[in-house]
């Protein structure tokens, strides 16, 4: 159901559209459409501007549109008309000179088709107009993120209680996904990474057939999607036997780097600076070349969204942003350590939303 917060979001977007010098924006990213309207279906576009707010959809969603956003005008096509053909008929009615399009969402094929059918109406590529609004979470969104964290943590605890030495990474991943769903998650935020031993040196490893009794430590990177579509993202390493001394050392370095970075998070701080705090700890320990990725990213309706914590980020932290903080050291042939928590930027600092212990437990 459309709420006051959806109206407020659209008003903010209209201000951004005016600032960009556009007559309107054609929103084609399904998550952006949902964020602005409350509509949860797919294959639907939203035209929004100072003088127009209208959804273009198809007959599968006619009832759903009425139920979820009854105050927004909707035009519904049938199976006899493609979306480009439908838009070519409907958009000229608004008598606009130019329309922004979401360059990261609209395919080249659809764009070219619209350019041909809508001339002389101009289509202007835009990026980030809605995504910048999505970076600041409102109280309801923060509650959803807390729920996604809770569902991930409860699923993780259940999975660990069911582990057997003979179990494979893939079997454990299945138990983890099932556990999160049991506690109310819509689904896993991504395919869980469960990496035994040397597989942990691969930052985006896919769970395979290695058994837990084949190495004394495991890396697990996982997350849940709440019923309203918000993502959590966590990583922990734990021991299943006597952990090698070298891995214990890098674990301590990564944990120190993460805690130092979290302590630096507050409004007004550049994301680049937070990344630098963690990177300096790892560099001073002699492992700089083994930490190649950015420190973290925003989470919300997508598992990866703005802002970015990285050496090249120009983003600035603001209250309401929720980011991951996940430094890592990866040693080929031995394994790797990544420790990841979800952190809310508050008015005077930050709050860590995750609560799984950091100790390298056996």
Domain boundaries, the chain: 4-134, 139-352
Closest CA to 300 of 281, 320, 286, 316: 320
User: What are 202's two structure tokens?
Assistant: 């691969």
Q: How many CB atoms lie within 10 A of CB 96?
A: 19
Q: Rounded mean pLDDT of 67-76?
A: 94
| Pairing, β 73-77 against β 52-58 | parallel
pLDDT for 28: 97
Predicted local confidence at residue 112, as pLDDT: 92
If you search the block for the tokens 């608004």, which residue do you land on?
94
pLDDT band at 120 (very low <50, low <70, confident <90, very high): confident
* Alpha-carbon span 325 to 343, nearest angstrom: 7
Q: What is the mean pLDDT of the chain?
A: 96
Query: Is the pLDDT at 16 greater than 60, yes or no?
Result: yes
pLDDT at 58 over 90: yes
How are beta strands 45-49 and 217-222 bridged, if at all? Answer: unpaired
Across the range 318-341, mean pLDDT stands at 98
Say yes or no: domain 4-134 is CATH 3.40.350.10: yes
pTM, full prediction: 0.95
Alpha-helical regions (H) of 49-164: 62-68, 83-90, 108-118, 129-134, 139-162
Q: The CATH number of 139-352 is which of 3.40.50.970, 3.90.1150.10, 3.90.230.10, 3.40.50.1220?
A: 3.90.230.10
Q: DSSP secondary-structure letter at 267?
A: T
Long-range CB contacts (within 8 A, 24+) of 301-306? 301/31, 301/34, 301/35, 301/134, 301/229, 301/230, 301/231, 302/31, 302/231, 303/189, 303/190, 303/223, 303/231, 303/233, 305/131, 305/134, 305/135, 306/128, 306/131, 306/132, 306/134, 306/135
pLDDT of amino acid 3: 77
Query: What was the pLDDT predicted at 1?
Result: 56
Instruction: Give the alpha-carbon dihedral of 74, 78, 83, 87, to 10 degrees.
Output: -50
Residue 196 has pLDDT above 80, yes or no: yes
Is pLDDT at 158 greater than 90 in this prediction?
yes
Residue ranges of E strands in 202-291: 217-222, 224-225, 234-239
pLDDT of residue 362: 57
Over residues 291-305, the mean pLDDT reads 98
Q: How confident is the model at residue 119 (pLDDT cuts 50, 70, 90)?
A: confident
């Amino acid at each position: 159901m459309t709420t006051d917060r959806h109206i407020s979001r659209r008003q903010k977007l209209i201000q951004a559209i005016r600032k960009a010098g556009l007559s309107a924006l054609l929103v084609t990213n399904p998550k952006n459409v949902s964020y602005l309207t409350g509509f949860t279906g797919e294959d639907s576009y939203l035209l929004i501007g100072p003088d127009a707010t209208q959804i273009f959809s198809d007959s599968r969603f006619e009832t759903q549109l009425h139920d979820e956003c009854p105050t927004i005008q909707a035009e519904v096509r049938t199976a006899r008309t493609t979306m480009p053909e439908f838009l070519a008929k409907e958009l000229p009615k608004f008598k606009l000179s130019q329309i922004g399009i979401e360059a990261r969402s609209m395919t080249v094929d659809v764009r070219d088709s619209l350019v041909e059918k809508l001339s002389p109406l101009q289509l202007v590529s835009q990026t980030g107009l809605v995504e910048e609004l999505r970076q600041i979470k409102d109280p309801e969104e923060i509650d959803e993120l807390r729920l996604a964290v809770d569902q991930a943590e409860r699923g993780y605890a259940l999975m660990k209680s069911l582990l057997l030495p003979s179990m494979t990474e893939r079997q454990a991943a299945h138990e983890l996904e099932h556990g999160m769903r049991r506690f109310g998650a819509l689904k896993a935020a991504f395919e869980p990474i469960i990496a035994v031993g040397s597989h942990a040196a691969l930052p985006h490893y896919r769970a395979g057939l290695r058994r837990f009794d084949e190495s004394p430590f495991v890396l697990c990177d996982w997350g849940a999607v709440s019923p309203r579509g918000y993502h959590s993202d966590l990583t922990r390493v734990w021991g299943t036997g006597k952990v090698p001394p070298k891995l214990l050392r890098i674990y301590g370095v990564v944990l120190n780097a993460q805690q130092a970075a979290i302590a630096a998070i507050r409004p007004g701080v550049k994301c680049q600076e937070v990344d630098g705090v963690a990177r300096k700890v790892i560099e001073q320990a002699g492992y700089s070349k083994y930490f190649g990725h950015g420190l973290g990213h925003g989470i919300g309706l997508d598992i990866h969204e703005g802002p970015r914590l990285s050496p090249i980020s120009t983003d600035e932290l603001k209250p309401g942003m929720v980011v991951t903080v996940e430094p890592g050291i990866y040693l080929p042939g031995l394994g790797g350590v990544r420790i990841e928590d979800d952190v809310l930027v508050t008015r005077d600092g930050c709050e860590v939303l995750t609560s799984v212990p950091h100790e390298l437990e056996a």
